[in-house]
Amino acid sequence: MSTRRTLALLWIAAGLLALGGDGPAAAQSTQQPDRVVIVAEDNDGGYRATRSKSYATVRDRVIKARMLERLRDFLSPVRLPRSIGVRAEECAGGGDASPFYNSADRTITICYQFITLAETMTDKVMAAVTKDPKRYPFPITRDEFLWGLIGGVLLHESGHALFDVLDVPVFGREEDAADQISILVALHLRPQLAEAAVKAYAYFWRMVPDPDSGMAKDGKLNEDFADEHGTGSQRLFNGLCIGYGHAPAVFGKFVAAGWLPENRAKGCAREYERLASAFARTVLPFIDAKKMAEVQGVDWLAASYGPAQPVTAVVRNTPPPTTPARSDAAPGAQGPAGRGTGQ
Amino acid sequence: MLVSSRLRRRRKASAAYLGIGLFLAAALTGSVPLAATAAAAPAPAAQVRASYDATAKFAAVRTMLQRHKVLEKAQVFMSPLRLPRELTIRTAECGAPSLPFDAAKGVITICYEAIAGIQDLAKGATSDADDLAALVTGGVMEEALHCMADAILQVFDVPMWGRPEDAADLLAAFLMLKFDERTTTVAVIGAARLFGYATSAVGKVDYVSEVSPPAQRFYNFLCIAYGGERLGFQGLVDKGFLPNARARKCASEYNTIRKAFDLRLMPHVDPDLVVKIRAIDWRNYDADKAP
């Protein structure tokens, strides 16, 4: 074989190998086939340098919190048929940029801007809870809200990623479905975390105003309704309904306080069962039960803005049910991961 | 869920919105014959029974539906489905704008109240006979396809992500795109316009319900149409009825519903019959003369 031909074959082989590594793991990163991969560039650990100085300190906090590592670890129980990437960056779109999943490169991007937004929102909620406890009657700590909000949004984007990579059939609006899976997963974490996540979700959406009317002043339809996401109240009611449907004893206080209207609440057990069934049939088969139990046992709040806890805190020996169970008991009466360990 | 079922107060649509609706209609549609001459088509499936239940209160509505052979057409449209059980599709006086699919008995019900509501809404929106026919056609097709979609999702025990009423809407919109182009255009635009008029008529928005407000349904519906038939519905974006920010995502939204359909429903569909159904000229279809 001539040298030229050998080089050509090597070139082809190298090209094929490169193709094999295409996707979110293509850049410098720790290769974890079929798992969640931190997409690094230039040894940035997945945390892209910022363009504006104002987000440099945010980046430092995100790195200190090991946010990408946490997200990767949180999703580790999913036996992904294709890898998913995660990275953090100062996103295009200015100060309103939110985390997103891009199916083209199968990557979840955490925007530094969103962390700033979450911190600002946390200050606002904490002030409101302190100032008007009658209107905001559900005690919540700063860490619970902040991490509940950040975690909820990342779970939402992870939901989009799972729908894509696992080929989950979504007949309803995908944005609603992503909210559903984020709440469902959160409900099956440690009881304290589950409740905190739902409270954070509720406080956030309670503070987002709805459009006043279906019609705009110019006689056209109100384009606020053109958004593929639900309105603040719709997302509030949808999320609380799932929580209440799963654990009425825990989340009945939202009904009592009027945050979840009675006429919606009466159908929430059915809504939860429908959702749990969809999860059991389309996502659960991809879940490693042992790893899931480990993740469910981690206190993800314990090390806010500090090193993440190792993901080996609790190992449950009980096999998961085929469907995430509905709980009528208070979280405190449950085991470390609640009754529904099916995720 | 019908276009008008969520109307707590039926008022005439605002004049401004009527103008928009007419403009939208003029931009994208024309008049609509619901039934006329014969055309070759598969026989209605034996596994779907049809019944126009008797009614005194809505006799005119029943007569209109019978004249246009709405249920016979629904039978033909559903014929490619390999149903696990016999179904009945009926029109009936319900005492309410809608009835859910009766899964135990396998009964799909299109309520006369819903069709009457569609007629009322359409009459409040236009006095032009052709335009009225287009609106009613779109509304009736949306109502029937929504009811059928809801039943199909339940009969085949589809895992439900998102809200079921939205799912029935999106599947109905997806199915509307399977008709011939002219019928699709009339149906999509007619149904969307009625969602618009319903928004104007309803007034206060109900955020508690599991059913999306008609304004959201308007955009969801148009988004699936644009996502699946960009060429045919580009005018929706050009004229500003579908904002660019949403329009950019519509191909993806359409593909999501198509993927779900392919994964969960297509295995229950006879592809050869689908071809025959798609080849039907629905504007000139006569169910009586079907082979």
Round to whole Å and give the CA distance between B250 and B225: 8
Percentage of chain B beyond pLDDT 90 is 75
- The residue in chain A having the minimum alpha-carbon distance to the alpha carbon of residue B16 is A219
Instruction: Name the average pLDDT for chain B.
Output: 86
User: pLDDT band at residue B99, thresholds of 50, 70 and 90?
Assistant: very high
pLDDT one-digit tens code per residue, B118-175: 999 999 999 999 999 999 999 999 999 999 999 999 999 999 999 999 999 999 999 9
Q: Give B232 to chain A, closest Cα distance, Å.
A: 20
Q: Give A214 to chain B, closest Cα distance, Å.
A: 6
Residue B63 has pLDDT above 80, yes or no: yes
What pLDDT does residue B287 have? 62
Neighbouring C-alpha atoms within 13 Å toward the C-beta of B238: 10
| Tokens representing residue B139 in the block | 């509304």
User: pLDDT band at residue B42, thresholds of 50, 70 and 90?
Assistant: low
- Angle at which helix A142-165 crosses helix A191-206, to 10 degrees, equals 90
Put simply, whether the predicted model's pTM sits higher than 0.80 gets the answer yes
Nearest 10 degrees: Cα torsion A190, A71, A156, A194: 10
Residues whose CB falls within 8 Å of the CB of residue B146, separated by 6 or more in sequence, listed in order: B1, B2, B168, B169, B172
What pLDDT does residue B289 have? 58
The stretch B85-106 carries a mean pLDDT of 96
- The residue in chain A having the minimum alpha-carbon distance to the alpha carbon of residue B224 is A173
- In this predicted complex, what is the ipTM? 0.86
> Left if phi > 0, otherwise alpha if psi is -120 to 50, otherwise beta: which for A46?
left
What pLDDT does residue B280 have? 87
- State residue A106 phi and psi, 5-degree precision: 50, 50
What pLDDT does residue A300 have? 82
Q: Give B8 to chain A, closest Cα distance, Å.
A: 14
Does the distance separating the beta carbons of B257 and A220 come in below 8 Å?
A: no
What pLDDT does residue A4 have? 52
Percentage of chain B beyond pLDDT 70 is 82
User: pLDDT band at residue A299, thresholds of 50, 70 and 90?
Assistant: confident
The stretch A198-203 carries a mean pLDDT of 96
Identity of the residue in B17, B161, B202 whose CB atom sits nearest the CB atom of A172: B161
Identity of the residue in A103, A215, A226 whose CB atom sits nearest the CB atom of B219: A226
What pLDDT does residue B290 have? 55
Does the distance separating the beta carbons of A214 and B171 come in below 8 Å?
A: no
pLDDT one-digit tens code per residue, A5-49: 554 544 444 444 444 444 454 444 444 445 899 999 999 999 999
The stretch A297-307 carries a mean pLDDT of 65
Round to whole Å and give the CA distance between A213 and A1: 76
User: pLDDT band at residue B28, thresholds of 50, 70 and 90?
Assistant: very low
| Tokens representing residue B63 in the block | 């007569």
Residue B283 has pLDDT above 90, yes or no: no
Percentage of chain A beyond pLDDT 70 is 78
Does residue A149 contact residue A182 with C-beta atoms inside 8 Å?
no
DSSP states of B87-113 as a string? Answer: EEEEEE--SSS----BTTTTEEEEEHH
Using an 8 Å CB-CB cutoff, list chain B residues near A218: 16
Give the A:B interface size as CB pairs under 8 Å.
136
Does the distance separating the beta carbons of A169 and B263 come in below 8 Å?
A: yes
Residue A230 has pLDDT above 50, yes or no: yes
The residue among B201 and A329 whose pLDDT is bigger is: B201
Residue A339's Cα: distance from chain center in Å? 21
Instruction: Name the average pLDDT for chain A.
Output: 83
